Every structure is written in C-alpha cells, then in structure tokens.
Structure 1
C-alpha cells in the first residue's frame, strides 16, 4: 500500500497512504494530501484512467496542492496497488463496471467525509471520467463539481461499437471474460517505446511515467480483458443515450484532446453539448493524457482546471466535512 517514488518522480510531501476496503471486501490503495494552507479551497479527488496508478499523477497533485486544495488519489480495483480478481495481476480486469461505484462509495465514506474539507470536486480522466459522468447522472458522485479529461465515451479504433459490444458479450458468455482482448498482452502501454505513442508528445514526461511504471512492477497493468471491454462498451452505450447528459445537474467541464487516438473527442463534444450545467473545451493537437502533455498544452489545461475549481468565495459558504 506504499507509494513508489523514482528520481524524476518524487512523492509529493505530506502523503498519507492507507488501505480502504470496499463493502464487498476489495482492498484499495488510497493516498491523501492535506492542504498546505490554513484556509483550503476544498478537496480534489482524482479518478484515474484505465491502467493508471497514483504515482502517475504526482506532478498534478503538486499543482493542486499549490492551488490550496486537499488532494485524494486512489487506484481502482484491478490496477495499481489495489485488489486483483484474477491470478495474473497484469490483466486489466473487472467483472463489471458497477463494481467501480463501490470503490467510489468506500472512498467517500472512509476518506472524504472523515478527513477532507468541502467543497469536493472530482478531476477524472478517460475511464475514470466515464465512471464519474455515469455516477453524476445518477446523483451518486460525491462532489459538487466535475472535470472530465478525455472522457471514454467512444474508442477511436472501434468503428462499430454495437458490434463490438455484442461480440465481447458473446465471448464473455462462452467463458472467455478473463482473457486478454485479441492482440492484448501484459506490457503496460506506459512502458512501450515513445515513438508513435498515443498518450503524449512530451518525451520527458513519457520517460518519467515509464520509469514510474517499471518501478511499480505488477501495479502497472497491461491490456484489458474481454470482460472489461464488454463492460466498458455497455457503459459507453448508456452514456450515449440522449438523456444521460441531461440528467447531470452538477457543474461539469469536459476537456477533450484534439489529437486523441485513444478515445473519441467528437463523442465528448456531443455529450458536453447536451449538458445543462456544463461545457466543453477541445485542446488542438493534444494527445490522450492531457496532464502529461508538453507545457504548451498542459499549462492552459491546468489553468482551465484551476479556473473551474472552487474559488475562495465558494469555500467561504461551503459546509465543512463531517466526521
């Protein structure tokens, strides 16, 4: 349950690492950083993407702490330092996405309500952003604001998502849910060669994250399983329904990467256009990992994030967290 630093990626000072257990018994690795000010602006909870881990967010955590926030980061079940349900810890697997809601429920009850000042905001990426949007539309997101970075609302390489959903469902029914998706393997995308990577154009940040993944070992998972893919397609189908965005009531900012080769930026724009209390920002030339991009891309993204997060005036009227 400890955090794993590298020379280029030190642990932000003040980390409190703990083990949180979801109601079905799944242990999760959680890290919390108290605000570095007597008057915090609130708490930002990070919902990471698929195959990510807390260490990959250290730079952004430092930025959020400098803004005056308390920060909470955790690993979803099936990745990072959290529980695995299959014998092969490199497989990116979860039986169904509904289990991720139990992770959020545990973090909210055992960390946010007890230790973290309000208002609460969620900063979510890719898969984490899709999970957050789904929870928000059902009124179950433990936050007053949501920032969705490159949300997983469509997969670029999947041209026929309905067919993909039925194909993965058939494979799942035949008992292949725990197998890697066709062509998949145990190698983490983060450790693959920089040339041609779909994540970032920044060579130094890519190398830093590759070193962090290597240091974490089995915590840096490989490709998803068929079972994960089936559940992911099911979630994207639900979020594609016209009513899904309309049901979200909390202020929401969607930031899409204009050169994303992992998830669909147009799908994110369409979703955001239906939000009643949200809008979209598309960053030209940006690849999938907006917070790991070159400074010319990352700095405006971080500025937009800070501008959208609770301001000191908002904090003055927010109720304190209760233990």
Structure 2
C-alpha cells in the first residue's frame, strides 16, 4: 500500500504541458489520515477576483489541468487544486495502486472540505468558487451543504449525476454492485476488461475531439504513469451509484442552496447529459448550459467547444467582486505555504 512517506508534492510537466507560472505544490493530511497532493497558483495581473477550488474527475491528476489553471489565473483568480485520495499523486487506498477505489462519498467530501479549509481559505481570501469535473461534480454536490457557508458558487462540467443508460439498467447494475460488495468483493474490478492505457486511441476517444490535447494528455500519462489508475472497483461504482440515486430525491434537491452552473457536453458518452439537465432544472439555484457536439472532457476539448466553456465560467463569476491587489498578498501566500508544509 502507498504510505504517507511515499506521497510526494512533485509535479510532472512535459514539453507539451509546461508548469503554470507561479504554481507551487505540497502535501496535506486529511482529518482521517490520508495524504493528498495539492497545488496553488496566484492570479496574474490586476486584482484578485476570488479563489477557484478545482476538483478533478476520476483518474485525473493536477498535471492534466495546467492549461486550465493558466486560463483561470489569467482571468484574475487564484487556483487551488488537488488529487483525490486513491489517484494522482495522493495516497492510494488499496495494495494494488492501479485500482481506482472508493469506500464512501463522505471520504471524497472529506478531501474537498480539507483542501478548502486547510489550503484555499488559509492562503487566499474569499469569495471561493468550486469548479468540478465529472466525479468531482458529484462530490461537490454531495458536500455542498457542508461548505455552503464558505463557497459562493459551484461550476460543474459534465458532472457524474447519471450514466448514459436507462434507469432500470442503472438500478440493476447498482444492485449487483451492492450485492458483490456485501459478499466482500468490493475491491474487485467493476470492468475487468479495462486496463491502464488500453483503448487510448484518438479515433475511439469519448473524452475529447482535439488531437493536440489528446496527444498532450497521452504523453503526460506516459511520462508519469504512476499518477493514473485503471478500471474502477465494484466499491467505487457502488459508492457513485448510490450517491447519484440520492439526487433523484426531491427533498435532497430542495436542500441545495449554492448557485450552480451545469456545463453539459452535448455528445457525452461517459455521463448522462439528460440527468444533468434534469437536475439543474429541478434545483432552485441551478442553471444549465449545453455545449452542442462537445465530448465529456469540456476543459480538454477543441477550442470551438472549450472557449465557450471558459467564457461561461468567466461570466457566471462576474458578479464576484475583486477583493485585493495581487501584490498585496504575494508575501502572505509564500509564508502561509510554509506554514501548511510545516503542519
């Protein structure tokens, strides 16, 4: 099993994926003892508009979002991001580090809240916005009531609130996963045919239609394969399926209070776009924008799809007031980073 001693803050740039200007990284320990790799990047120029806490999807890493971090910093936001437990540069959950595992959605919520309180709110002033992709979007929704007093808005790109199958099919698969998990098979792969690196061809990719970004991400995975995992386990699927089912409950939806923008990929084959549109419509605080013909990874997509996503994020956050000059916080951020590393 990956131990805390082996969790490194090191970032892994490649020639096609350079480090964002000013980025720094570290390792923090959550309240339940898991070690997470995180990174922070200050805004560039002008005034700080706020802080974006960037939460990835399943089987992603900080490095995959270097370009997006650059874009957000150029818009005047400080960015804080991290790797979920069990993936990226963070502590693994099983003896086999290639398995994408989960125990409970509350564990991922613990990661999100820990980074929010220990890093984001300590290093940068509010307002704070959570920008979350796919699995990260589901976790952000599940944790939204916990963080509602410190997070102004949520932006969810292609969130995992449903799968592209019938509700009956999802119920059957969810029930089977629950049974297998109760039989002690939770750490078995939910998709045995999937292996790390298999199926990574541009022609068959459901993730992006941009050949340059596809190549960049593939080169990144080849340069640092230890950051990535293979197929999800049965326990991971069971955890996500049960959480998705909760957001069919009207009472659960009624409790959601953070203004939320759903950015939906029109040609998503990984998650259900219909489920996202339906949830956004049922939320009193939800808004949905569909990017026609875009594939799942909106922030890794071709410019014709990605540019409207960045513009929508920028506009949705326009009402957040500037809070302080960047120059006024540079020394404080450096000192606070040292404090976080020492704790």
- TM-score of the two chains, using structure 1 as the length reference: 0.93
Runs of 4+ residues over 6 Å off in structure 1: 320-323
Equivalent in 116, 126, 145 of residue 118 of structure 1: 126
| Alignment size in residue pairs | 319
Change (3 A) 1:60 1:275: same
Task: Give the distance between the partners of 1:29 and 1:158, measured in 2 at CA.
Answer: 37
Matches within 5 A, 1:12-51: 12-37=20-45, 39-51=47-59
Q: Report what 1:256 is aligned to.
A: 264
**How far has the Cα of 1:140 moved from its partner?**
5.2
Secondary structure, aligned partner of 2:176: helix
Asked whether the equivalents of residues 45 and 74 of structure 2 are also in contact (C-alpha less than 8 Å), the reply is: no
Asked whether the equivalents of residues 48 and 322 of structure 2 are also in contact (C-alpha less than 8 Å), the reply is: no
Secondary structure, aligned partner of 1:195: helix
Deviations 1:283-319 (A, max 9, x none): 1101000011111111011100111114464648xxx
Moved more, 216-225 or 283-292: 216-225
Asked whether the equivalents of residues 12 and 62 of structure 1 are also in contact (C-alpha less than 8 Å), the reply is: yes
Task: Give the distance between the partners of 2:101 and 2:124, measured in 1 at CA.
Answer: 30
Asked whether the equivalents of residues 194 and 230 of structure 2 are also in contact (C-alpha less than 8 Å), the reply is: yes
Equivalent in 262, 276, 280 of residue 268 of structure 1: 276
Q: Report what 2:191 is aligned to.
A: 182
Q: Report what 1:162 is aligned to.
A: 171
Q: Report what 2:13 is aligned to.
A: 5
Q: Report what 1:237 is aligned to.
A: 245
**How far has the Cα of 1:157 moved from its partner?**
4.7
**RMSD (Å), alpha carbons:** 2.1
Asked whether the equivalents of residues 49 and 125 of structure 1 are also in contact (C-alpha less than 8 Å), the reply is: yes
**How far has the Cα of 1:188 moved from its partner?**
4.4
- TM-score of the two chains, using structure 2 as the length reference: 0.88
Deviations 1:65-95 (A, max 9, x none): 1001100110000000001011111111121
Change (3 A) 1:274 1:150: same
**How far has the Cα of 1:232 moved from its partner?**
0.6
Change (3 A) 1:62 1:74: same
Secondary structure, aligned partner of 2:178: helix
Structure 1 unaligned regions, length at least 5: none
Task: Give the distance between the partners of 1:313 and 1:43, measured in 2 at CA.
Answer: 11
**How far has the Cα of 1:15 moved from its partner?**
1.1
**How far has the Cα of 1:182 moved from its partner?**
3.2
Task: Give the distance between the partners of 1:225 and 1:92, measured in 2 at CA.
Answer: 6
Q: Report what 2:290 is aligned to.
A: 282
Deviations 1:232-263 (A, max 9, x none): 10110111212333221121100110100000
Structure 2 unaligned regions, length at least 5: 1-8, 337-343
Asked whether the equivalents of residues 65 and 71 of structure 1 are also in contact (C-alpha less than 8 Å), the reply is: yes
